[in-house]
């Protein structure tokens, strides 16, 4: 027996499912993860806590947990592997159950996860079952479903060819695997690399004869978007060029597997997934990167981009195709510009019409056939859109503090389709904390054809807030009006500017607040205003209002009102 492994649980019956909880220096959250497995509605299971040689209190915590529940076994690796693969693989070696699941120490399993997935295996012979993954943001508590369109209905697929979109659902967690399937194909997590889930999942999808998808939530994934760099997950370390190299290395391993296993027909789908998901994550951050980083990024990613199928590029939205092509052409300053506001229909500062009558992104006609194909924005109709959908770009070019809690902004608006008439334009800056809108009107004056500029003061103290206070984040938008129609677009802030915090005193009986103005810090890079109630509002009023806002409480209040009537 491995000296770092506690004895297997006694008893005549082997467990139905082994849940492996991998951990490294996470003594604080490990009990929560393990408890989520202990409270499963299906109780005949074993829990293997696989410790990647932690140096904090994790060993003590894990042994205490094992002492309280005979279903828990503690496995400690002799040395740190630096990844998730080794602790998972070592746990598979000692697992006693015919079905296996994996859980990270900072996540949880919903109470019926094991029951639901095991039921799918018992209904028919399948290689693995998978369900919905709930994403929970640790900063806001907001919940969402990861790739909801892929798990919306119950279905059994005989191979990933039936739905290649599943390449996007590359998590190894949220699934229950038949041990016989993993052993038959000698399928284990690749050690010594990052993004191991992507390769493991691609192999599992391609090797499985059948797998079942259930819509019930089976995994709770806690996401910390803005963790400190030392504590951030691998996926949130995109500022490191080594992170880019790791991701591309895994893509090449997947490509080799597809070719060797006879699944080359899936290459376009897999390439599209890389462009739409993996590359897109880096693209959203490009405005925050300096010239040296952008150059290294292009050096790293371009050789791989050259291997992708043309069909994968053709499936991308035009705005994303533009960013990819600008990186491939090493027009890196332009790539940074194109990436700002990506996903929000933000216009380029300028477009150019060629002799062929086609309209291209940027201030000149691209030189190569590929660039002309990828940078062709003619189909976006920049000069013929209706005004409410016109293609504008609004940028804050200067931001300074005004008196009190006010901001003085210089705003530049680009109108590459020349939708606005010549001359000054009336514009309104809008911000809506709570239910009441704060509006600041100003004038945009023409600088040159297609470019306007103006200055506006935004007084945050003038916002009408609820009596119980408002806690949250809002982003100003800019509204234009023309011939009875209006257009509202996002307002891009400088990628970096000094944030500041001010206090807004009570006005008309409203609660006092602490207000912070800061860069958004991630795509799309808007100006961000954060309100936080203070004093009595924070301690008493807001908790009371949140309690009254619960659906059950509202139903009781309505019932009491009806009885009193």
pLDDT at 468: 80
First to last CA, the chain: 73
pLDDT at 509: 60
8 Å CB contact between 508 and 497: no
The mean-pLDDT minimum among 6-10, 293-297, 351-355 falls in: 6-10
Burial of 245 (0-12, 13-18, 19+ CB in 10 A): middle
Burial of 87 (0-12, 13-18, 19+ CB in 10 A): buried
Better-scored residue on pLDDT, 436 or 327: 327
pLDDT at 496: 84
Structure tokens at 229: 């760099």
Q: How confident is the model at residue 188 (pLDDT cuts 50, 70, 90)?
A: very high
Better-scored residue on pLDDT, 7 or 405: 405
**pLDDT tens readout for residues 139-178:** 888 899 999 999 999 999 999 999 999 999 999 999 999 9
> What is the rounded distance in angstroms from the CA atom of residue 239 to the CA atom of residue 289?
8
Q: How far is CA 195 from CA 76, 189, 254, 482, 496, in A?
A: 22, 10, 11, 50, 30
> What is the rounded distance in angstroms from the CA atom of residue 217 to the CA atom of residue 224?
20
**pLDDT tens readout for residues 38-63:** 999 999 999 999 999 999 999 999 99
> What is the rounded distance in angstroms from the CA atom of residue 135 to the CA atom of residue 107?
10
Count of CB atoms situated within 10 Å of the CB of 320: 20
Superfamily of domain 17-223: Spore Coat Polysaccharide Biosynthesis Protein SpsA; Chain A (3.90.550.10)
Look at strands 425-431 and 477-482 and give their pairing. Answer: antiparallel
Q: How confident is the model at residue 556 (pLDDT cuts 50, 70, 90)?
A: low
> What is the rounded distance in angstroms from the CA atom of residue 281 to the CA atom of residue 275?
9
Return mean pLDDT, the chain: 91
pLDDT at 231: 45
CA Rg, the chain, in Å? Answer: 27
pLDDT at 466: 84
For residue 430, report the phi and psi dihedrals to the nearest 5 degrees: -120, 140
The arithmetic mean of pLDDT across residues 465-477, rounded, is 89
Top mean pLDDT of 282-286, 504-508, 535-539 is at: 282-286
pTM of the shown model = 0.88
Report angle CA 100, 101, 102 to the nearest 5 degrees: 135
> What is the rounded distance in angstroms from the CA atom of residue 130 to the CA atom of residue 173?
9
pLDDT at 254: 98
**pLDDT tens readout for residues 209-266:** 999 999 999 999 999 875 544 444 555 678 899 999 999 999 999 999 999 999 999 9
8 Å CB contact between 114 and 17: yes
8 Å CB contact between 14 and 97: yes
pLDDT at 434: 84
Which letter does DSSP use for residue 381 in this model? -
**pLDDT tens readout for residues 313-342:** 999 999 999 999 999 999 999 999 999 989
Task: Specify whether domain 388-534 bears CATH 2.60.40.
Answer: yes
Structure tokens at 350: 């300028």
Q: How confident is the model at residue 558 (pLDDT cuts 50, 70, 90)?
A: low
Alpha helices in 81-161 (DSSP H): 85-94, 113-123
Q: How confident is the model at residue 10 (pLDDT cuts 50, 70, 90)?
A: very low
Residue 173's nearest CA partner among 251, 81, 104 is 104
Strand arrangement of the beta sheet that strand 513-519 belongs to: 472-474, 527-533, 513-519, 500-504
Return the sign of the alpha-carbon dihedral for residues 98, 99, 104, 108: negative
């Amino acid at each position: 027996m491995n000296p770092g492994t506690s004895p297997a649980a006694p008893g005549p019956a082997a467990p139905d499912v082994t849940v492996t909880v991998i951990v490294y220096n996470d003594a604080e959250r490990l009990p929560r993860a393990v408890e989520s497995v202990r409270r499963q509605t299906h109780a005949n299971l074993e829990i293997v806590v696989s410790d990647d040689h932690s140096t904090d209190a994790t060993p003590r915590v894990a042994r205490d947990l094992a002492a309280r529940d005979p279903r828990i076994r503690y496995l400690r690796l002799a040395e740190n592997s630096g990844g998730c693969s080794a602790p998972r693989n070592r746990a598979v070696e000692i697992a006693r159950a015919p079905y296996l699941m994996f859980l990270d120490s900072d996540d949880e399993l919903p109470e019926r996860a094991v029951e639901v997935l095991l039921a799918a295996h018992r209904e028919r012979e399948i290689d693995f079952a998978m369900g919905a993954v709930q994403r929970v943001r640790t900063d806001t508590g907001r919940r969402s479903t990861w790739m909801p369109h892929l798990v919306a209905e119950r279905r059994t697929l005989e191979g990933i060819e039936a739905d290649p979109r599943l390449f996007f659902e590359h998590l190894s967690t949220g699934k229950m695997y038949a041990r016989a399937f993993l052993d038959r194909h000698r399928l284990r997590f690749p050690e010594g690399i990052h993004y191991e889930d992507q390769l493991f999942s691609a192999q599992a999808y391609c090797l499985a004869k059948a797998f079942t998808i259930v819509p019930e939530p089976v995994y709770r994934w806690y996401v910390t978007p803005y963790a400190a760099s030392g504590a951030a997950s691998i996926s949130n370390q995109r500022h490191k060029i080594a992170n880019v190299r790791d991701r591309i290395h895994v893509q090449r391993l997947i490509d080799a597997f597809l070719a060797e296993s006879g699944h080359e027909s899936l290459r376009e789908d897999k390439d599209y997934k890389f462009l739409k998901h993996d590359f897109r994550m880096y693209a959203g951050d490009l405005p925050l990167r300096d010239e040296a980083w952008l150059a290294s990024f292009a050096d790293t990613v371009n050789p791989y981009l050259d291997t992708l199928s043309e069909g994968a590029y053709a499936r991308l939205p035009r705005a994303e195709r533009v960013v990819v092509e600008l990186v491939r052409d090493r027009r890196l300053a332009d790539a940074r510009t194109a990436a700002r506001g990506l996903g929000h229909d933000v216009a380029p500062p300028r477009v150019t019409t060629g002799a062929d009558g086609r309209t291209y992104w940027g201030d000149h006609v691209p030189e190569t056939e590929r660039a002309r194909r990828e940078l062709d924005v003619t189909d976006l109709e920049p000069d013929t859109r209706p005004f409410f959908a016109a293609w504008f770009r609004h940028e804050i070019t200067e931001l300074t503090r005004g008196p009190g809690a006010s901001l003085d902004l210089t705003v530049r608006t680009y109108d590459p389709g020349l939708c606005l008439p010549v001359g000054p334009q009336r514009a309104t800056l809008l911000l809506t904390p709570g239910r009441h809108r704060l509006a600041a009107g100003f004038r945009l004056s023409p600088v040159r054809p297609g470019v306007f500029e103006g200055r506006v003061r935004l007084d945050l103290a003038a916002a009408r807030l609820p009596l119980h206070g408002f806690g949250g984040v809002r982003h100003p938008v800019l509204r234009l009006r023309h011939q009875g129609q209006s257009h509202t677009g996002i307002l891009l802030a400088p990628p970096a500017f000094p944030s500041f915090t001010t206090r807004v005193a009570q006005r008309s009986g409203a609660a006092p607040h602490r207000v912070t103005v800061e860069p958004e810090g991630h795509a799309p890079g808007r100006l961000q205003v954060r309100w936080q109630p203070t004093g009595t509002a924070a301690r008493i009023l807001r908790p009371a209002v949140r309690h009254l806002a619960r659906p059950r409480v509202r139903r009781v209040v309505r019932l009491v009102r009806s009885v009193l009537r």
